[in-house]
Each structure stands twice: as C-alpha cells, then as structure tokens.
Amino acid sequence: MSTHNNFDPSRRAFLGATVGGTALSIAGLPSQALARINAPHPHEKLKETTEVFGFCDMCYWGCGLKIRSRNGLAMKIEGNPEHPNNWGVVCAKGNSGIMVAYAPNRLKYPMKRVGERGAGEWKRISWDEALDTVAKELKKIKEKYGPQALAMIGHGTWEKPYHRLAHAFGTPNTTSPVFGLCCGPRGLSNAVVTGRNLTGNETIDLENCKYFLMMGRNITESLHNGETLGWLNGVANGAKVVYFDPRYTITASKADEYYAIRPLTDHAFLLAMIHVVVNEALYDKKFVAEQTVGFEELKQRVQKYTPEWAASITDVPADIIPRIAREMAAKAPSVFVYAPRRLTRSANDLGTGLSITILNTLFGVWDRKGGIFSSIKFEVPEIDLPKFEHAHIAKRIETGGDFDYSGDVPQAHFVDEQGKIQRADGAGVMGRWPLANAQYGLTNEMWKAMAEQKPYPVKMLITAGGNGFLNSTDYKTIRQALMNLDFYVAADVIPNEMNMYADIILPEASYLERYDDLQIGGGKEGYVAVRMPAMKPLHDTRDAWTICKQIADRADLGQYFPHDSIKELIEERLKKAGHSLAEIEKKGILKVPADPKENFRGEQGIPSVFPTPSGKAELVPSILKMMKFDDTLDYVEQVRPDEDEFHFTFARIGFHTHARTQDNIWTAEFMPENLLWIHPDAANKRGIKDGDLVKVTVRDGRSEQIKVKVTLRIRKDTVFMVHGYGHFDKRMTTAYKKGASDSNLASYAQDPRVGSISMGQSLVKVEKV
Amino acid sequence: MRSQLYLLASRLFNQPTAEHLAVLQHLMTELLQTTSSEVPWRETLIALKPQLKYEENRETEYSRLFILAFPNTTVQPFGSYWLENDQCLMGRSTLEVKKMMAEHGIEIAEDTGLLPDHIVSELEFMALLASQDNEKALQTQQQLLEQHLALWIPRFIAALRAANPASYYQLAADFLEQLIESEIRSIK
C-alpha cells in the first residue's frame, strides 16, 4: 500500500520523539541516546510506503524522482513519470542514490581540524561551534583582506545557497567547474554565434531528428536519461547516426557509420564539412539569407579547408565528407551536429565548438522540427533580497545547469562600470579571460589564483561538494592552493581528497533528506520541480540552505536569508508564481504545456530570436572580431605523439559521475576499478598482455599505474581510461586505490581565448611494471 | 549492576567530552565500590579509572577511531556495518533494533546524531532493559545480545585493536569484550 503522504520531518509523522519532560533516566543517570516515544507508536503504519518527489543529485542532468520510504527511511528511488528530464526513467547512478544516504563513509558530524592541514586529524564539534567559527573567520578575512579574499567553489544541485552566502559577503569569486572544466567552449560557441544557450538540458528535438552527426557525443555512456531516451526515439524513428571517436564506444556500436578520428582533430573535419556545405550550396539558403550575417566572409575563410586537407589530418577518408554533407543537406533542417558533452580537450576548443554551431546554423536547424527548439520557461520569481554589494556578480539562474546568456551578457562581462574588484580567476575580465562566463567562472584559474595568490590574495575558501583533485588536473596547484589558505570550510556528504584539507567540515544532509530550492527548467514544456525530504537527515547533518542561513545570521548577513527554512522560501516563491507547495508536492512538478508555435517558430515562418549585436546569427561572430579572437575559426595544429607515445583520453561511463560515485557501494559493484584501453598491436610492441599492470607516464613526468585492457576498440595511437578512479583518500574505503586517476595524467593547458582547461593534450608513454 | 555496567560501556564509546567523563567517573566509583573482586573486568576498571580525566587529545583519538579516520580506516561503530552484506547503514539489522526499541516505547532521542544500532545506542538500550525487572525486558536483552551484540562487537573490537588505539580505548575494548563474553556465558 502506498500513499501520497508527504513526509515532513518537522511534523514527526512516525516518530513521537521526545517532548519536554520525557527525558529518560537509567540507573539514576540521564540518558544519552534514548527517549520515550511520546505518542502511541502506530505499528500498523510501519508497512506503509510513502512517496515523495525530488530531483536527482547523482549527476547534473536533474532527473525527476519519486522516492518510496518505509518506516521513515528511503527505500527505493524511481523516476517521476511527469518530469521531462527523464520521463520516469532512472539510471544506475540514480538508483544507487539510496547508498549516498546509507553509506558508512558519509560525513556524519561537524568536524574541526586539529593536526596539520591535510593530515586528517579531526575533532568532532557541535554545529554551534562549527558555525560560530566559520562566521568568525569570515569576519576576520573581510577585515584583513576585504571580501574578495573569499572564494566559493560549488559542485552539486544544492550549491545555490553557498553562492548566495558568498555574494552576500561581497565576493565575486564564486565558481563551478561546469564552464572552465567542462562545457564552457561549447556553451560559448552557441552564445557568440546566436546569443542563445544550448547547454545544460539541451533543447534538441531528438525524437524528430533524421540525421545525427556525433562528434564524440557518447550519448549511451555519458548518459542523461531524457537525452538518451530522446536520441533512442530519434534512432527508432529512422534517424541516421554517424559517429566520430578515437574509441569504439557503445554509441559507436549503435551508429550507422563510425570513424576512428585522430584525437583532437574534430575541428579539421568540421571545417572541411563547412567548406563543402558552402561551396556546394548545401546550406539552407532562405535561412542563411534572412537570418544570418557573415556568410561571404565565412566562405572565404574556409576555402583552404578541403576534404583532402582534412583527411590528411584526421584519418577520416576525404570522400565521405562531401557525402555526409549532402546527406545532411537532404534531411535538413531535421539534422543535428552533436558536440561532445565536455569540450575541454584541444588547443582550440572554441574553434571546434564554433564550427559545430556554424554547421548547425548553415543547415537552418534553429527553431525547426528535428533541430533545435525554443524552450518554454515556467516563470517563478526569485525572492526579494537586498542588493548584493559587489558589481561583478553575474545573475545566477535556478537550474544549476544552464548558462544565462540572455540580455546583454556576455558583453556585460567585460564592463566595469563601478570600478570594483574583478574576479580573481579573470573570467569576464578584459585583458584576462573576457570570454569566460563570469557567472560560473574558471575553476581552474581560481585554483591558480589561490596557489599563486595573484592577482590579489584569496585566503578563505568554502567548497560545496566537488573534488578539486580528481575533478580537474594538476594536483600540485590544487595542493598549493589549499595550503595557502588562512581558512578552508568544506560542506559535503562524503569525504574526499579535497575536503581532507578543510579546517571545518560541515556535513550535508543527502538530497534524499531535505528540501532544496526549486528546480526550474525549460524544454518543449516549461516546468518547476520540487525536492522533498524522503527521510530525516541521518547522523548530525543539515541541508545547505540551513547551514548558509545559520552562517549568514552569525556573520551579520541575515538579511540575505530572511526565511526560517528553505521550505518557507520555496513556499513564498511558488506563491509569487500563483501556486503553492501543496500543489507542487502532489506530482513533484508543475508544468506549462508545450506550444509548437513557440517551440518551432521556424515552422510557422516566424524568424528566430537571436540576441546578438546584429540581431541575427553571426557566422563570423562580431564579439570575437571586436576582441580580435576571430582567428579561433582557423585550424590550429594539435599535439602529436612520438612513435613511442599515445594520445591520452578519458571519459565518463553510464554508472559513474565524475569522481563522486566511485565510493558508492552499489555503483562500485558495476566496475570496481578502471582499466587502460590499448590496441593489441601497441600492446604487443611493448610486451603487454591483457590484465598486466602498466605505468602510464606523461611528458611532464606525472604517472599512474593501472591494469590493461587490450582491445581492438581503440586507435593504435591512443589509450583510454574511465574517469574518476584512482582515489587516494583512505577514508573512501570502497574507492581507495582502485584503478588510476586520469586527472593526474590529463593536461592542464588552456584554450588560449577562453581560459578553459584543455585536458586532452597529454601525450603518454606506457610500460609494463 | 548489569545496568550500570552497560551504561559504563555505552559512555565509554561516546565522545569523551568533559561532561561524559564526569558521568563516567561517578559510575566508575559506584561500580568499583559494589563489584566483587572476582569479576573479570575489575582490573580493567581499576586501570581505566585514573584515565577518566578530560583531555582534548582523547577527543581527537575518538574522532580518528570512530568518525573520520586518516590514515587508518574508521572502526565503524554501527551494527549494520558489520552485519549487513553491503555494509549499508540503516539496514535490516538496524530496523530490528529500532523495532525492539519501539516495542519498549523507546526511540533514539532527536539531535543526538545517533542511529539505533550505534554502539552507544545499543549498549544504553541494554542498560535500560537491565534496569527493568520483567519477562519482556529479559527476552529483548537476550535477543539483542545474541542476534546483534554477540555477532558484531567481537569484530568491532578486533578492528579497534588493529587501529592501534590509545590506552583509554584499549582498556575500553578490554572492558567491552569482558562484559559481552560474560553476558554470553551467563545467558548460556
């Protein structure tokens, strides 16, 4: 039997709990653990299942969840069938979310560092002591260096209150890895060409697409339920799939055609595609004439990029390029050139991203069936807050997964009207990284700013989730940054290599144990979704909003957290939107229906909205020309391995997210350790056999040891490993020393125009141990 | 007396704050006055008594051993960690203890941060039951001892000794082992 009984820990639905005066005494001494149940215990209710709704925190796609609880404990995670991010489907990671709550290794109580920083000596302290200490240190830092000396790095669906706390404090230095370490160049490409956002929950009409040209978009392994489902439906509806990747992935196995492209050379192939499309007039002539600018200049610029030229660089046969271009033109606008999810790889990620956006634009896919649609937003106003003092805090949007390039961004990034201090990571700062998103910042540059204490001192750090070591690269910089701090506060659910360095650990309630701010998203239909607690927080843990409010109150910033609880805050937000918490808790989600007229304006002959300086899609973006960055359109030579070296590649797999799920007892069962993929010829040459332990060494001397998987599914000049393994924190008893860390091998070169990290540029040697 | 012994054990495995240690001293004095010289733990208690003074180091040692160990692995003070196949907390065994508590009108007090099968909770529950003179309390004690404590405490103690604890916790481990062994003997 199940009911839609909304479990509310504050109502103590099941647990009578202690009420004043019922304290227990045993043998004349006060109890320390036990209390008398106040109300008669409803035993008959123990077998009932309650259902609450939420959205997932196991990756950043934000699938809608329905969580079943029994006896006040979350027992089973299912998908919310109403939620457009997943339509009721939950992946292996989502299912394993239960073990986030029940993991024995969870951070359970507030802890204070007592030994050397990073040595791992702690003392359990009370919440009051922890929060008082944090507030005191905040005041100290502000007094000594100014508010900009605080940095905040967040990485989770619950990081929002920490951004607010940092902004209220007055620092511009809040960052999430999503831009600089992941999707930045891809998001930027769409922003500068069309002024539109196409990342986060991408608005691609997958079901109706007839031709997917997939540039390493391994959609079946680096998967998000709604996106993978949409793609599968598109394939089932007859879409052709042409897939490019140095590795034969599961997606490659589902494709009609697969090409083992040379690593880092996608840009060359794409430029040749543009060459053919413009020279053979395969583009959407009406769309290009009416809704774009810069066509003639683009045409001139790509003349040198012939298919033969591309073939010599990419190992992709020259003759397939015109054929693919023609096939796509025949199906356009129901076609899509699919960028990789993470586009932080080569010496010119921005150029790669741009050529993808340009191809899509030439095929006229914007606002067309089977192309890219315009989303509908569920409008839920933010609460009214006093103004943040600092000038350079870009507006943050609600979903935690989108870039907000609406209005005058990104131009506003490089304007300093009030002469206030710019971001330490240089994101959006003229003369540094003006193109980088000032809302999410460049996490790689923020670490560097802390390690070098330039351009100004950054002496206090708050992290909300994340793992600087295994999520980025360059352990040395991260370690130096952490050691330089006057004070470091880590809020998280699990222990990891980064929070081991904290001065104070604040244990977060898991996403199954709390309300959080609303999830607001837009697909063909607009939606707002709620996260409800499926159980009380275990141990002595608290939710992010409560923690931030309690710090703010102590740091004289209480006016930025005017509500008593996050529940009260979301109630007010929903009320402002003309709805209520009770209403949204019925199905976990409220929606505005899809509107084909709005989603597919192009189908009605209505021009698309392109908020660029020209008001049209800019095939040679004016922002880049203004900044003299338009040479990014041109191909840049990529690093090539010597005879005895390999390109080093890594990627996600279907049941792990970044470096945060390897210690999960359930997901670890699927793949306890990662392996180094190597081609049989390359293995034989080195006397390496399947299962052998090898040492992988980067040119700069960093190395890792890992077991080998000899497989034909990879190019001879490339090795590969699944991302997120090689944990070196002993407290992660499941993940400790399992496999190797790709982060310790990946390159930390940067895209020269964006500032994002280019992790694919490492060249490695492999030898038997 | 059994009740006081379990209380002592329970307190020994809670955070050694000044407040807890004051209670421990009181308990210890009482126990040493009343126990006969033949009980197996008497020497252990005598050795422990002078250590019942507050020291910040001991709180650090407690945190190292039972909460957030580094570089050693945490000695997990939860029954379910030792009894469940997947080491999952709040497993079936935890729910059994929770149910036993509920049957006696008891639950874990709010804001203690404890789970029902935390060593502190189970031992205090035994103390409570031992202070009651009725058949039901006796049955529950037997069940909790045989199906829970006797199964996981020896493994917990072995892990604790392997973690090379400070002498306070070596003695606490000795006492707990002596108490549980004696309880198992007397039940048989």
Cα separation, A740 vs A737, in Å, equals 8
Mutate to test the interface with A, among B56, B63, B141 (most CBs of A within 10 A): B63
Cα separation, A438 vs A390, in Å, equals 13
CA-based nearest distance A731→chain B, Å: 6
Q: Which of B14, B60, B124 sits opposite A123 (nearest CB)?
A: B60
What residues of chain B lie within 8 A of the CB of A122, using their CB?
Answer: 60, 63-64, 67-68
Q: B144 vs A470, A484, B66, B99, B101, CA distance in Å?
A: 43, 51, 22, 11, 10
Structure token digits, residue A651: 């990627």
Cα separation, A156 vs A177, in Å, equals 10
Q: Which of A310-334 are b and which e, b meaning 16 or more Cβ less than 10 Å from the residue's Cβ?
A: bbebbbbeeebbbebbebbbebbbb
For residue B126, the model assigns a pLDDT of 97
Minimal Cα distance from A28: which residue of B? B4
What residues of chain B lie within 8 A of the CB of A29, using their CB?
Answer: 7, 23, 26-27
What residues of chain A lie within 8 A of the CB of B113, using their CB?
Answer: 108-109, 539-540
The residue type found at A148 is: Q
pLDDT higher than threshold 70 for residue A201: yes
Asked: is B2-187 a CATH 1.10.3480.10 domain? The reply is: yes
Q: Tell me the average pLDDT across A280-288.
A: 98
A185 alpha carbon, distance to own chain's centre: 14
Structure token digits, residue A270: 């794409």
For residue A409, the model assigns a pLDDT of 34
pLDDT band at A418 (very low <50, low <70, confident <90, very high): low
Structure token digits, residue B36: 């006969």
- Tell me the DSSP string of B77-115: -BHHHHHSTT--TT-HHHHHHHHHHHHTTEEEPTTS---
Q: Are A251 and A218 in contact (CB under 8 A)?
A: yes
Inspect the interface and report whether the beta carbons of B10 and A121 lie closer than 8 Å: no
CA-based nearest distance A98→chain B, Å: 10
pLDDT band at A444 (very low <50, low <70, confident <90, very high): very high
* Residue A241, beta-bridge partner list: A212
For residue A47, the model assigns a pLDDT of 59
Q: Which of A124-159 are b and which e, b meaning 16 or more Cβ less than 10 Å from the residue's Cβ?
A: bbebeebbebbbebbeebbeebebbbbbbbbbbbbb
B128 has a chain A CB within 8 A of its CB: yes
A145, HSE (Cβ side, Cα atoms, 13 Å): 21
Cα separation, B11 vs B45, in Å, equals 13
Q: Tell me the average pLDDT across A159-172.
A: 91
For residue A9, the model assigns a pLDDT of 32
Q: Which of A25-34, A35-44, A207-216 has the lowest average pLDDT?
A: A35-44
What residues of chain A lie within 8 A of the CB of B62, using their CB?
Answer: 124
pLDDT higher than threshold 70 for residue A16: no
What residues of chain A lie within 8 A of the CB of B10, using their CB?
Answer: 32-33
Mutate to test the interface with A, among B61, B84, B90, B125 (most CBs of A within 10 A): B90
Inspect the interface and report whether the beta carbons of A31 and B109 lie closer than 8 Å: yes
Inspect the interface and report whether the beta carbons of A99 and B108 lie closer than 8 Å: no
Minimal Cα distance from B66: which residue of A? A124
Minimal Cα distance from B91: which residue of A? A102
Mean pLDDT of chain A: 90
Structure token digits, residue A299: 């045409």
Q: Which of B70, B78, B108 sits opposite A120 (nearest CB)?
A: B70
Mean pLDDT of chain B: 93
pLDDT higher than threshold 60 for residue A769: yes
| A216-249 per-position pLDDT tens digit | 999 999 999 999 999 999 999 999 999 999 999 9
Please identify which residue in the block is written with the tokens 């391995």.
A641
What residues of chain B lie within 8 A of the CB of A15, using their CB?
Answer: 107
Inspect the interface and report whether the beta carbons of A26 and B128 lie closer than 8 Å: yes
- The dihedral built from the CA positions of residue A740, A638, A756 and A258, taken in this order, carries a sign that is negative
Q: A172 vs A146, A166, A485, A713, CA distance in Å?
A: 12, 8, 17, 45
Q: Are A37 and B102 in contact (CB under 8 A)?
A: yes
| A64-88 per-position pLDDT tens digit | 999 999 888 999 999 999 999 999 9
What residues of chain A lie within 8 A of the CB of B114, using their CB?
Answer: 33
What residues of chain B lie within 8 A of the CB of A41, using their CB?
Answer: 102, 105
Instruction: Mark out the alpha helices in A203-265 (DSSP H runs).
Output: 225-236, 250-254
- CA proximity to A173, closest of A570, A485, A498: A485
Inspect the interface and report whether the beta carbons of A43 and B121 lie closer than 8 Å: no
For residue A589, the model assigns a pLDDT of 97
Cα separation, B61 vs A547, in Å, equals 27
What ipTM was predicted for this assembly? 0.91
For residue A34, the model assigns a pLDDT of 82
Peptide bond into A30 cis (omega under 30): no
Size of interface A-B (CB pairs under 8 A): 152
> What is the side-by-side order of every strand in the sheet holding A589-592?
A519-522, A526-529, A589-592
The values of phi and psi at residue A387, to 5°, are -60, 140
* Residue A124, beta-bridge partner list: A111
pLDDT band at A428 (very low <50, low <70, confident <90, very high): confident
Q: Which residue has the higher pLDDT, A362 or A115?
A: A362
Q: Which of A414-426 are b and which e, b meaning 16 or more Cβ less than 10 Å from the residue's Cβ?
A: beeeeeebbbbbb
DSSP state of A508: B
Put simply, the chain B residues between 138 and 157 with a CB less than 8 A from any chain A CB are none
Contacts of A272 (CB under 8 A, 6+ apart): A305, A306, A307, A309, A310, A311, A321
What residues of chain A lie within 8 A of the CB of B118, using their CB?
Answer: 33
pLDDT band at A157 (very low <50, low <70, confident <90, very high): confident
Please identify which residue in the block is written with the tokens 């090539």.
A640
DSSP state of A743: G
pLDDT band at A59 (very low <50, low <70, confident <90, very high): very high
Most confident of A47-51, A144-148, A687-691: A687-691
Cα separation, B91 vs B148, in Å, equals 13
Burial of A348 (0-12, 13-18, 19+ CB in 10 A): buried
Contacts of A554 (CB under 8 A, 6+ apart): A131, A132, A134, A135
Minimal Cα distance from A501: which residue of B? B70
For residue A197, the model assigns a pLDDT of 81
Minimal Cα distance from A102: which residue of B? B89
3-class secondary structure, A123: strand
pLDDT higher than threshold 90 for residue B84: yes
Mutate to test the interface with B, among A124, A513, A669 (most CBs of B within 10 A): A124
For residue A417, the model assigns a pLDDT of 52
CA-based nearest distance A59→chain B, Å: 22
Q: Tell me the average pLDDT across A629-647.
A: 97
- Report the percentage of chain A scoring pLDDT > 90: 78
Give the other-Cβ count within 10 Å of A626's Cβ: 11
List the domains of chain A with CATH numbers.
2-102 (2.20.25.90), 121-203+405-508+543-562 (3.40.50.740), 205-372 (3.40.228.10), 646-768 (2.40.40.20)
DSSP state of A714: B
The values of phi and psi at residue A150, to 5°, are -100, 130
Q: Which of A34, A539, A666 sits opposite B125 (nearest CB)?
A: A34
Mutate to test the interface with A, among B64, B89, B96, B119 (most CBs of A within 10 A): B89
Give the other-Cβ count within 10 Å of B184's Cβ: 15
For residue A22, the model assigns a pLDDT of 56
B25 has a chain A CB within 8 A of its CB: no
- Report the percentage of chain B scoring pLDDT > 70: 98
B73 has a chain A CB within 8 A of its CB: yes
